[in-house]
Amino acid sequence: MLDGKLRPVAVRVHLTGQDGKGEIRAVGAAERLRSYYLNNLIGNPLDTTIAAACLVFGGVLERHPGLKVCLVHGGGFVPYQAGRWVHGWHVRGEPKVNIKQSPEPWIERFYYDTILHSQTSLSFLIGSAGPARVLLGSDYPYDMGTGECVRQVKALAIPEADKGTVLGEAAWKLLGLSA
């Protein structure tokens, strides 16, 4: 994305009004992730994070303000390290190569799915991103998926209105549909 190879894809998605959501298949640090199913447990969220960082720091989201992106795997490490990205932009030159302002406005545009397998993590995600940017996910039919995704959201200690937003209203709005 940084070298522009995927720029035509981003432009096409933006111009056609489509929303981009896809599974990442190239797992970063693959050699070190061969044991213990780490290629999935760590690798998939890592690749989601790398893809998001490339969209932000590559200037893709800045150039395409209407592009909507849902990050799978609960956004990888993005919700938990977004502050580090902002800080890095302020103290280093490398993150400024393609964007001329703090990455915060583009990080705040991401949507996230609920596939975190943890009430604590999901509560943090909803609290930091807001329920309007968190979409119900199941990861079906993969082995790391869950058939309990609705129950997991309903069990959260958040307002009922926020549960309704995550359980469907946010997705309807993102897709420009009526519930």
Give residue 140's pLDDT band: very low, low, confident or very high (50, 70, 90). Answer: confident
Whole-angstrom distance, CA of residue 22 vs CA of residue 71: 8
Least confident of 13-17, 119-123, 172-176: 13-17
Contacts 24+ apart (CB under 8 A), 96-104: 97/57, 98/2, 98/57, 98/58, 98/59, 98/62, 99/56, 99/57, 99/59, 99/62, 103/56, 103/57
Q: Do 123 and 174 share a domain, yes or no?
A: yes
Q: Give the domain-ending residue among 59, 91, 113.
A: 113
Q: Give the domain-ending residue among 91, 113, 135.
A: 113
Q: Do 153 and 93 share a domain, yes or no?
A: no
Domain span at 159: 115-179
Q: Which CATH number covers residue 78?
A: 3.20.20.140
Q: Do 17 and 86 share a domain, yes or no?
A: yes
| pLDDT tens digits along 77-123 | 999 999 999 999 999 999 999 999 999 999 999 999 999 999 999 99
CB 21 within 8 Å of CB 76: no
Quote the pTM value: 0.84
Q: Do 140 and 172 share a domain, yes or no?
A: yes
Position 8 pLDDT exceeds 50: no
